[in-house]
């Protein structure tokens, strides 16, 4: 039984977010410091990847493989918040890696080590996220042009990462059809838009070209990101209305997360569970166990948000995310 499922199968008792965490820890074989109770092989160091988007951005990304010859449970694309980098979410990357997930965490364009590009004609240029407008943001999630995905005209940051994962899948190193997206803050907005683009690729005679994402985690999601880029168009698609398992994790003072919780509940009126600190667990009519739900909204007793919430030891975000992904992939 997965940690996430074990918690929601238990009868209700006086609410406490700490109770959620302790249950997850005990079932996961972890102590309250997040350390494994059973000795495990030390995860290998991360590997820096040098990738290039279709519009000439030199994209740096970090790959966190699983230990030894173990097969990864799935591959996670971890998207940091605007003005962050792979370093601001590295504790979450390491936690997922230790739990058996292969992780790819890019520095989005204009962030970290991804600040150079080659313009048409070969002239070099620099990128700074502080000056980004809507086209710059949309380019991060771009995946379109033509009917054959390998020949897409627009391959933004996340699509370029996906292409690398697909190349590894062709050698058996990773599985592209067991893909999960975790996005923090505005990275969640961009991750949601790319997830919809991934699902939009039409199948060919060789089979599906997309719909590879099996679950999405939104940590402190932002409704309207830089340049007016909004998560709402993604929520109008079948991917978010019906098919994709979703975990929303946020602090108690996060207004956008509360609004999105209400909207997502409206999209899935029969499939939601909401748990918050100081609140009784709520669920849709007909939902008796976590197996009956596809939407989980958890509001931690924390003033933090985004990358800081994702990597805060007290919030135990890593354990919650791992429990959710384990549950979804076991279905």
Longest Cα separation, the chain: 65
3-state secondary structure (DSSP) of residue 108 = coil
Digitized pLDDT (tens) for each residue of the chain, 331 residues in all? 444 545 443 433 333 333 344 333 333 443 333 444 344 578 899 999 999 999 999 999 999 999 888 899 999 999 999 999 999 999 999 999 999 999 999 999 999 999 998 866 667 789 999 999 999 999 999 999 888 898 888 999 999 999 999 999 989 889 888 999 999 999 999 999 999 999 999 888 778 888 999 999 999 999 999 999 999 999 999 999 988 999 999 998 899 999 999 999 999 999 999 987 666 689 999 998 888 999 999 988 899 999 999 999 988 999 999 999 999 999 8
CA–CA gap between residue 62 and residue 90 (Å, rounded):
10
The predicted pLDDT at position 26 comes to 39
Which residue do the tokens 């899935």 mark? 268
Backbone angles phi, psi at 184, to 5 degrees: -110, 130
* Alpha carbon distance, N-terminus to C-terminus of the chain: 11
Q: Enumerate the β-bridge partners of residue 36.
A: 30
Task: Delineate the domains of the chain, giving CATH numbers in brackets.
Answer: 3-113+131-330 (3.40.50.1820)
pTM of the model: 0.88
């Amino acid at each position: 039984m997965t940690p996430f499922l074990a918690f929601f199968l238990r009868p209700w008792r006086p609410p406490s977010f700490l109770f959620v965490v302790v249950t997850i820890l005990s079932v996961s074989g972890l102590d309250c410091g997040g350390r494994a109770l059973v000795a495990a092989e030390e995860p290998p160091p991360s590997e820096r990847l040098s990738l290039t988007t279709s519009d000439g951005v030199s994209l740096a990304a970090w790959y966190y493989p699983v230990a030894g010859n173990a097969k990864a449970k799935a591959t996670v694309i971890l998207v940091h918040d605007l003005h962050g980098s792979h370093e601001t979410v590295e504790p979450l990357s390491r936690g997922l890696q230790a739990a058996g997930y292969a992780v790819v965490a890019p520095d989005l364009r204009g962030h970290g080590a991804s600040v150079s590009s080659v313009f048409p004609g070969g002239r070099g240029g620099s990128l700074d996220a502080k000056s980004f407008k809507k086209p710059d943001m949309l380019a991060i999630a771009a995946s379109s042009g033509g009917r054959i995905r390998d020949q897409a005209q627009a391959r933004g940051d996340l699509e370029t990462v996906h292409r690398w994962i697909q190349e590894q899948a062709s050698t058996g190193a990773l599985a592209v059809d067991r893909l999960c997206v975790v996005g923090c803050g505005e990275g969640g907005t961009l991750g949601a838009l790319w997830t919809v683009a991934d699902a939009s690729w039409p199948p060919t005679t060789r089979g599906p070209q997309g719909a590879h994402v099996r679950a999405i985690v939104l940590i402190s999601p932002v409704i309207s990101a830089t340049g007016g880029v909004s998560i709402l168009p993604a929520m109008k698609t079948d991917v978010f209305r019906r098919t994709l398992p979703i975990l929303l994790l946020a602090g108690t003072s996060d207004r956008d997360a509360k609004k999105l919780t209400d909207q997502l509940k409206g999209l899935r009126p029969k499939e939601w569970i909401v748990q918050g600190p100081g609140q009784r667990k709520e669920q849709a009519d007909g939902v008796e166990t976590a197996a009956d739900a596809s939407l989980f909204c958890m509001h931690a007793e924390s003033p933090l948000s985004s990358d800081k919430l994702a990597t805060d030891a007290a919030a135990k975000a890593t354990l919650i995310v791992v429990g959710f992904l384990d549950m979804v992939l076991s279905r």
